[in-house]
Amino acid sequence: MRLRENDDGGEKEEVVENDVTLAQNQWCPVVNAGFSSPKRLVVVGYALTTKKIKSFLQPKLEGLARNKGILFVAIDHNRPLSDQGPFDIVLHKLSGKEWRQVVEDYRQSHPDVTVLDPPDAIQHLRNRQYMLQAVADMNLSDSYGIVGVPRQLVIKREACAIPELVNQAGLTLPLVAKPLVADGSAKSHELSLAYEQFSLQKLEPPLVLQEFVNHGGVLFKVYIVGDAIKVVRRFSLPDVSKWELSKDAGIYNFPRVSCAAASADDADLDPTVAELPPRPLLEKLAKELRWRLGLRLFNLDIIREYGTRDHFYVIDINYFPGYGKMPEYEHIFTDFLLSLGQGKYKKRSG
Ligand SMILES: Nc1ncnc2c1ncn2[C@@H]1O[C@H](COP(=O)(O)OP(=O)(O)OP(=O)(O)O)[C@@H](O)[C@H]1O
Ligand SMILES: O=P(O)(O)O[C@H]1[C@H](OP(=O)(O)O)[C@@H](OP(=O)(O)O)[C@@H](O)[C@@H](O)[C@@H]1OP(=O)(O)O
Ligand SMILES: [Mg+2]
Ligand SMILES: [Mg+2]
C-alpha cells in the first residue's frame, strides 16, 4: 500500500496494490450451478481507496460474487494496467490527473472492457458548479412532481465581494456554502450555513452558495446501479424558521449530516415528510441522468420542499457512493456486473 497525491498536490489517499496475473481464458465451475455447464468468469479489476474497499468489498459481496462467477481482482498501481487482467470490467474511484489518464488510455486501447465509469464523466461531478447542471437542464415536471435544483452562485475569489454579489443575484438567505471542489477530501465536505448577508465575507472561496430549502429535516438518498434504483431516508439539517433567520447572525459550520449513522428509515416521522418521492418520477430522473451524465454508478440527495407534496430538489450527486449502506447492495451489484459481463460475452460470440 502507498500514498498517492491528488491533483492539487495536497490531500493524499491510500491506494491498495497487489500482484495478480490471470490466465487468458477464465472458466469456472460455478458453485451451486447444478447440471448447467461451466460459466465463464466475469473478472472485475478494481482501483479503490482502502476506505472504499472496506465499506464496499465486504465478505458477503465477495462470497455472493464468487457463487455467481464474478472475481474481484485488485489493480496493481506499480504495473501498467494493460499488463494486468485480462479484465471484463474495471471499477474505479481514485483521484489524480495521472490516474485519469491511465484509465482513459486503457479505455481507448481496450474497447471490449467495460470501464465504470469514464474519467471525464466522473470529473464533471467533482465541481459543484457543474454537478447539478444536468438536473436543471432536464426541467423534469410531470403529473408525479417537479424536480429542480436550488438557486446557486459560484464564488471563485474575493470573499469581501460576496454580500454584494449575493444581493445582485437576488439569492434568499439562509445560504448553504459548499466548497467548489467535491473531490472526496475531508475539506470538500466542510459545509456551512449562513444566516446573514454581512457575515458572508467570512467564507473562504472558491465555493458555491446555494439557497437553503426547508425540507422537514429528512432527505432521500437515491442509489443508482445501472438500471437499478434504491431509495433510503436519512436525517438532514432541520428547517430554518423566519424567526431564527432574523435572530441568528453569522456562519455555522456543520458536520457531515447525510452519512452512515443517520438512517431515518425506522424513525417515527411526519408522514408528509417521510413519504418517498414517487417511484415513476425517480425512474425517469435516474434514466435521464444516467444518459446525460454518462455514468452508471452514482447517488442523488433529494429533498422535498416543506409544505409541498411534489416539489423536489436535487442538492448533491456523488460518484460511486457508499453502496455498503444501500439495502441489498450485494445482490443488486452482482446482478449488474453479471449483466455487463454476459452482454459482452454474447456480443463477442455472436
Ligand atoms: N440547498 C440545501 N437545502 C437544504 N439542505 C441542504 C442543501 N444543501 C445541502 N443541504 C444539507 O447539507 C447536507 C450536505 O450537503 P451535500 O450533500 O451537498 O454535501 P456533501 O458533502 O457533498 O455530502 P455527501 O456526504 O452526501 O457527499 C445535505 O445532506 C443536507 O442535509
Ligand atoms: O464513506 P461513505 O461510505 O459514507 O460513502 C460516501 C462517499 O465516501 P467514499 O467514497 O470515501 O466511500 C463519498 O464519496 P466522496 O465524495 O467522499 O468521494 C460520497 O459519495 C458520499 O455521498 C458517500 O456517502 P453516502 O452518500 O453513500 O451516504
Ligand atoms: Mg450529500
Ligand atoms: Mg456529495
Closest CA to 131 of 208, 186, 190, 204: 208
Measured by CA distance, the residue closest to atom 2 of ligand 1 is: 212
Q: Which of 49, 259, 317 to mutate for ligand 2's pocket (most ligand atoms within 8 Å of CB)? A: 259
Question: Domain segments of the chain: what residues?
Answer: 42-117+334-349, 132-319
pLDDT band at 245 (very low <50, low <70, confident <90, very high): confident
For 42-117+334-349, CATH number out of 3.40.50.11370, 3.40.980.10, 1.10.3210.10, 3.30.450.20 equals 3.40.50.11370
* CA–CA distance, 325 with 311 (Å, rounded to integer): 26
Q: Is 311 helix (H, G, I), strand (E, B) or coil?
A: strand
The reply to whether 42-117+334-349 and 132-319 are identical in fold is no
Residue 176's SS3 state is strand
What is the identity of the amino acid at 203? L
Query: Could you report how far apart the first and last alpha carbons of the chain are, in Å?
Result: 41
132-319 maps to CATH 3.30.2270.10: no
Measure 187 CA to ligand 3 centroid, in angstroms.
Answer: 14
Q: Which residues of 322-344 are buried (b: 16+ CB within 10 A; e: fewer)?
A: bbbbbeebbebbbbbbbebbeeb
Q: The dihedral of CA 76, 69, 327, 114: what is its sign?
A: positive
Distance, in Å, from the CA atom of 248 to the CA atom of 266, rounded to the nearest integer, reads 32
Q: Which atom of ligand 2 is nearest to the CA of 51?
A: 11
How confident is the model over 7-19, as pLDDT tens digits? 443 334 444 444 4
Q: Looking at residues 136-164, what average pLDDT do you find?
A: 97
- With a 6 Å cutoff on the Cβ, whether 325 touches ligand 1 is no
Q: What is the pLDDT of residues 322-335, one digit of tens each?
A: 999 999 999 999 99
Which residue shows C-alpha cell 415536471? 141
ipTM over 0.90: yes
Residue nearest atom 24 in ligand 2 by C-alpha distance: 322
- Transcribe 60-118 into DSSP letters: HHHHHHHHHTEEEEEPPTTS-GGGSB--SEEEEE---HHHHHHHHHHHHH-TTSEEES-
Give the integer Cα–Cα distance in Å for 154 and 166: 10
Does the beta carbon of 257 lie inside 6 Å of ligand 1? Answer: yes
- Assign 32 a pLDDT band (cuts: 50, 70, 90): very low
Torsion sign (Cα): 95, 159, 302, 271: positive
Please tell me the distance from the alpha carbon of residue 230 to that of residue 265, in angstroms, as a whole number. Answer: 13
75 lines ligand 1 (CB under 6 A): no
Atom of ligand 1 nearest to the CA of 152: 1
* Cβ atoms of 201 and 160 closer than 8 Å: yes
- Binding residue numbers for 1D-myo-inositol 1,3,4-trisphosphate: 52, 93, 189, 221, 318, 322
**pLDDT at position 347 over 60:** no
pLDDT at res. 345: 56
Q: Is 54 exposed, middle or buried (0-12, 13-18, 19+ CB in 10 A)?
A: exposed
Per-residue pLDDT tens digits for 65-105 = 999 999 999 999 999 999 999 999 999 999 899 999 999 99
Quote the pLDDT of residue 15: 42
The ligand that comes nearest to the alpha carbon of residue 257 is 1
Is residue 152 within 6 Å of ligand 1 at its C-beta? no
Q: Which three cell numbers stand for residue 93?
A: 474511484
Q: What's the Cα-to-Cα distance from 117 to each of 22, 104, 163, 197, 206, rounded to whole Å?
A: 23, 10, 39, 40, 27
Q: What is the pTM of this model?
A: 0.90
Residues 262-276 have pLDDT tens digits of: 688 888 889 999 999
User: Which atom belonging to ligand 2 lies closest to the Cα atom of 319?
Assistant: 20
Q: Which residues are annotated as a binding site?
A: 52, 93, 128, 178, 189, 210-221, 236, 301, 316, 318, 322
Q: What is the model's pLDDT at position 38?
A: 58
Closest to 99 measured CA to CA, from 129, 122, 130, 72:
122
